[in-house]
Copies of this chain bind each other. A is one copy, B any other.
Amino acid sequence: MTVIAGGVLAACKGKVPDTEAAASPQTPLPAKLGADSNLSGGTMPPPAQTALAAQQAAADQMDAMHEAGIKAFPAKTAGKGNQLLAPVMDGKTKVFNLTARPIKWENAPGMITNAWAYNDQVPGPMIRVKEGDRVRVVLKNELPESTSIHFHGLIVPNEQDGVPFITQKPVKPGATYTYEFTVSNSGSNMYHSHHNSTKQVGMGLLGAFIVEPKNPRAIERADIDHVMILNDSQGGYTLNGKGFPATEPIVAKRGQKVRIRFMNEGIMIHPMHLHGMPMTVISKDGWPQPAPWKCDTLNIAPGERWDVIVNCTELGTWAFHCHILPHAESEHGMFGMVTALIVQA
């Protein structure tokens, strides 16, 4: 990179005063129709200087907001979702206790929303078991309305499927309900409310349910295993319950392999774009793809899970965001579905 005129140093070391950018000002040309542009600067009369100065002041103001967001990343907020939930053992059965109730959730610094949560987390705590495990999930309903849990992607006996009036009665306010089954299929799955679900899942009643395979494929072995739950509902645009700059970066060493398990619990698509390195897609909804394939932008629709492997070959901090740009950046800077993959030496 070479600074030609009025440019700025790369890599954002914070050593270059903003005013330097104006060292070689140009006349702000009037808007023109067509392609016959005049790029030469020429002498600048005083009114144009004033106009440029005003633009630069406005630009500095906007850029300061953008910079503040980036510098705050990763910002502290109260509460952390998607934390691994240790099971209580009942003989050989892994018991997971989930309590659903209303909480306040800080989805970005200072932005506190009303949420409905499992164990006071948005997303709910991560359940992680092995293929073949016996699992019991005990749901305590402290919500003001009935609820249920559907184990999205898991093959379970019909009466454990969590659909009120089809496979069970709804779990009333104040009641407790128990699901129990043997886990027969592996992969990146989810659990969430299946009652009044537009509201209840929208408010936060959702979580990851990961099943490790008995015999993992070679391609799915990774140094880092990262679950990324996408959401766009009542808490705004979030990754694992937080909007930028409160999202969590993925930090890896060069040469490591990162597995990312994308899960969409929202109501919109989110084409996630990783800068710097391709992603190799290995599974869809927990099932192996017939052959791995590469991309840098992966479209994830509501209810879908996609597993990818990133081979961390490139050093640096790489933006990682939804490419529906209004889900990721406003005039005030980046927000929402933005995080970073940081590859260290």
Contact = CB atoms under 8 A, between A and B. Distances in A.
B180 A2 contact: yes
Interface stretch (A64-72, A126-134, A219-227): A64-72
A1 B32 CA distance: 51
Contacts of A170: 8, 59, 63, 66
Contacts of A78: 33-34
Contact of A103 (B3, B32, B62): B32
A183 interface: no
* Chain A interface size range: 35 or more
Contact of A5 (B25, B153, B165, B176): B176
B67 A178 contact: no
B165 A28 contact: no
For A36, A99, A201, A293, the residue with the greatest tally of chain B CB atoms inside 10 Å of its CB is: A293
Contact of A276 (B56, B121, B161): B161
A58 to B, nearest CB: 7
B317 A167 contact: yes
A324 B300 CA distance: 12
Interface string A10-29: 11100010100111111011
Nearest to A284: B295
A198 B166 contact: no
A144 B59 contact: yes
Contacts of A240: none
A291 interface: yes
A271 interface: yes
Given A32-B104, A158-B318, A169-B16, A138 B174 contact: no
A62 to B, nearest CB: 6
A6 B166 contact: no
For A7, A140, A170, A174, the residue with the greatest tally of chain B CB atoms inside 10 Å of its CB is: A174
A329 interface: yes
Contacts of A305: 297
Nearest to A71: B165
Contacts of A7: 171, 175-178
Q: Top 8 nearest A-B pairs by Cβ distance?
A: A158-B316, A21-B172, A303-B323, A290-B291, A8-B169, A287-B294, A299-B301, A70-B165
23 contacts: A7-B175, A10-B159, A12-B165, A24-B175, A29-B101, A31-B101, A31-B104, A52-B173, A59-B146, A59-B170, A155-B278, A158-B276, A158-B318, A167-B317, A185-B278, A199-B331, A202-B325, A267-B324, A284-B293, A285-B296, A290-B290, A299-B304, A302-B323
